[in-house]
Amino acid sequence: MQREFQFYIVPTPIGNMSDITLRAIEVLKNVDLIACEDTRTTQNILNHYDIKTKTVSYHKYNEKSKVDELISLLNTGKKIALVSDAGTPMICDPGAIILKALRENNIKTTSLAGPCAVTTFLSQIPRDNEIFTFVGFFPKTTQKSQELLLNHSKTNLVFYESPNRIIDTLKLIKQVRGNVKIALGRELTKLFEEIVIDNIDNIIEHFKDGIKGEIVCMVYQAEDGDIDIITKISKLKTKGFKSKEIATILSTLYDLNKNDVYKLTM
Ligand code: SAM
């Protein structure tokens, strides 16, 4: 027997239309309204599963203005489900604003288990340990990217990236961390799904004719020998160089932000 909540967070397929749970279908059929990023995208799923529930748009551009309307409906006893275009709401998708408001209004919520690109990816990527840092989309600026790569060399770093940027991103990772091992997942659960695990040079070579589709990527945790900046800092330190000098040397040699390198020396 399904316990009744007022607000459901419902994951939807990330590619393969069959990746939806029985519970998700049941909830989407039984709520009064489905709040979705793009009503047309969600309608495809609803049609596929013969779900007749009404939809309302709820996306990052109207998130704030829609909250009051949705809360009023919930206060009249209506039940609402939140979905995003694909995967799990709140994972690089809208939801944060309404969830905060729901908590403030003591409205009961529950989240259904289901598809999500990052977990679908990680569940097929061999790793030596359970530790990973998921940062959502890879930063857009070089400085933020360098900072991220330098500060997270000790864990597996997982991120979403667009096909237009991924090759440049891989080149930047190589600049900061060397020709390290990467896992790249493309078009997961879809017809042309692909997983490539290799060093950066080989991955760039693999995609030399272009890369399309949706991508999740992981930079493997630094291994002895492949990390450059961190090892180089400690070598320079043992030779008696001061933090400021190390920052100047390494930022000049590797074209890095001096402050980021400096912070790593502390
Ligand atoms: N909420 C979604 C989730 O649960 O994964 C993520 C939404 S985010 C706006 C979209 C990004 O997720 C894409 O740009 C891509 O990086 C990643 N993604 C979504 N579907 C994917 C798939 N089938 N294969 C690989 N990556 C995917």
pTM: 0.87
Pick from 160, 161, 191, 217 the residue to mutate for probing ligand 1's pocket: most ligand atoms within 8 Å of its CB: 160
Label residues 114-136 b or e (16+ Cβ within 10 Å = b): bbbbbbbbbeebeeeeeebbbee
**HSE of 8 in the Cβ direction (CA atoms, 13 Å)?**
26
| 261 or 217, greater pLDDT | 217
Rounded distance from Cα 213 to ligand 1 centre (Å)? 10
Could you give the percent of the chain with pLDDT greater than 70?
A: 96
Cβ of 91 below 6 Å from ligand 1: yes
Q: Could you tell which of 9, 12, 14 is best to mutate to test the pocket of ligand 1, judged by most ligand atoms within 8 Å of the CB? A: 14
- Per residue in 111-127, pLDDT (tens digit) is 999 999 999 999 999 99
Tokens 């043992």 found at: 238
Q: Is there a contact between 207 and 235 (Cβ–Cβ < 8 Å)? A: no
Q: Decide the pairing of beta strands 33-36 and 80-83.
A: parallel
Ligand 1 centre distance from Cα of residue 62 (Å): 21
Count CB atoms within 10 A of the CB of residue 254: 15
Domain ranges of the chain: 7-115, 118-219, 229-265
pLDDT at 143 (0 to 100): 85
* Residue 10 Cβ contacting ligand 1 at under 6 Å: no
pLDDT at 2 over 70: no
Residue 154: pLDDT band with limits 50, 70, 90: confident
Tell me which CATH homologous superfamily contains domain 7-115.
Tetrapyrrole methylase, N-terminal domain (3.40.1010.10)
8-state DSSP, 12 = B
Helix, strand, coil % over all residues of the chain, rounded to 5: 40, 20, 40
At residue 1, the pLDDT reads 46
Q: Give the position, in ligand 1's atom list, of the atom nearest the Cα of 88.
A: 4
Tens of pLDDT, residue by residue over 37-80, are 999 999 999 999 999 999 999 998 898 889 999 999 999 999 99
- pLDDT for 189: 98
Q: Which atom of ligand 1 is nearest to the CA of 115?
A: 4
Q: Is residue 129 helix, strand or coil? A: coil
Q: Do 7-115 and 118-219 show the same overall fold? A: no
160 lines ligand 1 (CB under 6 A): yes
CA 208 to centroid of ligand 1, rounded, Å:
23
Does the pLDDT at position 202 exceed 50?
yes
Tell me the CA–centroid distance for residue 117 and ligand 1, in Å. 5
Is residue 211 in contact with ligand 1, taking CB distance under 6 Å? no
> Does 118-219 carry CATH code 3.40.190.10?
no
Please give the distance, rounded to the nearest whole angstrom, from the Cα atom of residue 86 to the centre of ligand 1: 7
Ligand 1: centre distance to CA 88 (Å): 9
Q: Using the predicted structure, report yes or no on whether residue 235 has a pLDDT greater than 70.
A: yes
214 Cβ below 6 A of ligand 1? yes
CB 94 near ligand 1, within 6 Å: no
Q: What's the residue count for the chain?
A: 266
Rounded distance, CA 7 to CA 59, Å?
A: 17
Q: Which atom of ligand 1 is closest in space to residue 116's alpha carbon? A: 4
Range scoring the smallest mean pLDDT among 13-27, 80-94, 130-144, 211-225:
211-225
Phi-psi region of 210 (alpha: psi -120 to 50; beta: other; left: phi over 0): left
- Rounded average pLDDT over 245-261: 83
109: part of which helix (H) or strand (E)? strand 109-111
Query: Parallel, antiparallel, or unpaired: how do β-strands 156-161 and 215-219 relate?
Result: antiparallel
